[in-house]
Amino acid sequence: MFTLCLGPAGDSLWLRHSSDIFMVKFGIYQTVNIFYLSAPITASIATMLCLPLLKTMPPSEENTPQNPLRRALLRGIPLAALPFCLPSSLLAVAIKHPSQQVSKAELVRLIARETGIAKELILRNLHDAHFTPSIITRITTPYESRSYSEYRPLFLTNRLKKMGHQYLTEQQAIFTKVEKKYHVEPMLIAAILGMETHYGRNRGRDRIVDSLYTLATGFPRRANFFRRELGEFMLLSQEEGRDASRELGSYAGAFGSTQFIPSSFRAYAVDADGDGKRNVWDSPDDIIASVANYFNHHGWQHGRPCAYWLPVSAALTSLAKTGFDTWQPLAKLRQHLPDLPAIWRDNDKVSIIEMRPKQGRRFALVHYNFYVITRWNRSYNYAMAATELAALLGDVTFAVS
């Protein structure tokens, strides 16, 4: 059995066989994660990644016993085309057995350096932290990776619509106050809270310390990010007087009714009820105001639309390929668009994106507000579902068709 995986720093590819370890730099292949594959498939993948290196090896080393990597890769050359003949489901056998690649001692040292927290306190917070391989498996197969035709039915439901209307009614006074202060529509906030946790009903069942510990030590591609989030989580636990070892949340370390990650909590959570705590778990005032504060800080434009479905057209194809890389005033695109609802203005900053709803390939005209939603969650699917749910909850501003 061969094992193909990232090195601890995330910048090298390790090919393991029996007790031998071969290290090969892979450069641009930053999206490669941890793989446990059969020997033929591993050999073929390794060949494709590493063949350029074989050409640069000194001739004197090419066929010597001291160069087993070259010989192993050359044996895999006849199989190099195999991955192209296999269905993606077979190649996706990866990430079944992730392993811890950073020691707890090294993690403690790095967090102490980055946060200023005493090593003794960090060790206390991590004393019973568990490395949980299933967390890495889940984070590499998120709902957002599905097509929109599969993703949309998860959130555009009569049940969530009913729950949203009830929440808007129960918290009407808070929503009115928050909209006046932060200039973010109640229906958008309600849509976000409904999608995240069904208004606090489903906040996650993973211990946050386990999630962040696992991702910081066993998910090389984003290990630095999650290590910083683990440090932020320890800081906020001190600041808010919460027991870090008891907090539950998502497999990605998000928590509360808002599902903030630790750094977002520290930056945007609000103590709206004035009790001295930023309680995004149980305080409706804090929960609603914190979401509004996040969107306000990221440039939300009150009263403006988000998205509008369009048919596929040759005139818009090049723009759809660039997506958020190209923004321009709506006036410049009018000649290529059907008639739009009156709410759309010529000076609206817009872009064109491509998605796949159940009708098949479609384009969508998106306002800068749509991009702001992706600052909360980077997925087009998430932003479109939030837009459609806000419309379903009664705000015609967000109607997409």
- Give pLDDT tens digits along the chain (401 positions): 444 544 444 444 444 433 333 333 333 323 333 333 434 444 444 444 444 444 444 444 434 444 444 343 334 434 344 344 444 444 344 445 678 899 999 999 999 999 999 999 999 999 999 999 999 999 998 877 889 999 999 999 999 999 999 999 999 999 999 999 999 999 999 999 999 999 999 999 999 999 999 999 999 999 999 999 999 999 999 999 999 999 999 999 999 999 999 999 999 999 999 999 999 999 999 999 999 999 999 999 999 999 999 999 999 998 899 999 999 999 999 999 999 999 999 999 999 999 999 989 999 999 999 999 999 999 999 999 999 999 999 988 888 87
Residue 167, helix vs strand vs coil: helix
Asked if residue 177 lies in contact with residue 218, where contact means CB atoms within 8 angstroms, the answer is: no
Q: Is 113 exposed, middle or buried (0-12, 13-18, 19+ CB in 10 A)?
A: exposed
Of 189, 188, 198, the residue nearest 396 (C-alpha) = 188
The answer to whether 247 is a known catalytic residue is no
Taking residue 335's Cβ as centre, other Cβ atoms within 10 Å add up to: 7
Kindly report the CA angle at 151 between 196 and 218, in degrees rounded to 5?
65
What's the start-to-end Cα distance of the chain, in Å? 53
Query: Using CA atoms, how far apart are residues 313 and 365, in angstroms rounded to an integer?
Result: 12
Query: Using CA atoms, how far apart are residues 385 and 152, in angstroms rounded to an integer?
Result: 6
> What structural domains does the chain harbor?
2-91 (no CATH), 104-138+200-297 (1.10.8.350), 307-398 (no CATH)
Query: Using CA atoms, how far apart are residues 148 and 298, in angstroms rounded to an integer?
Result: 25
pTM score, whole prediction:
0.77
b/e sequence 209-246, b meaning 16+ C-beta within 10 Å:
bbbbbbbbbbbbeebeebbbbbbbbbbbbeebebebbe
Chain-centroid distance of CA 118 in Å reads 30
Query: Using CA atoms, how far apart are residues 8 and 220, in angstroms rounded to an integer?
Result: 6
Helix (H) or strand (E) holding 350: strand 349-355
The active-site residue out of 120, 150, 185, 196 is 196
Kindly report the CA angle at 388 between 383 and 394, in degrees rounded to 5?
130
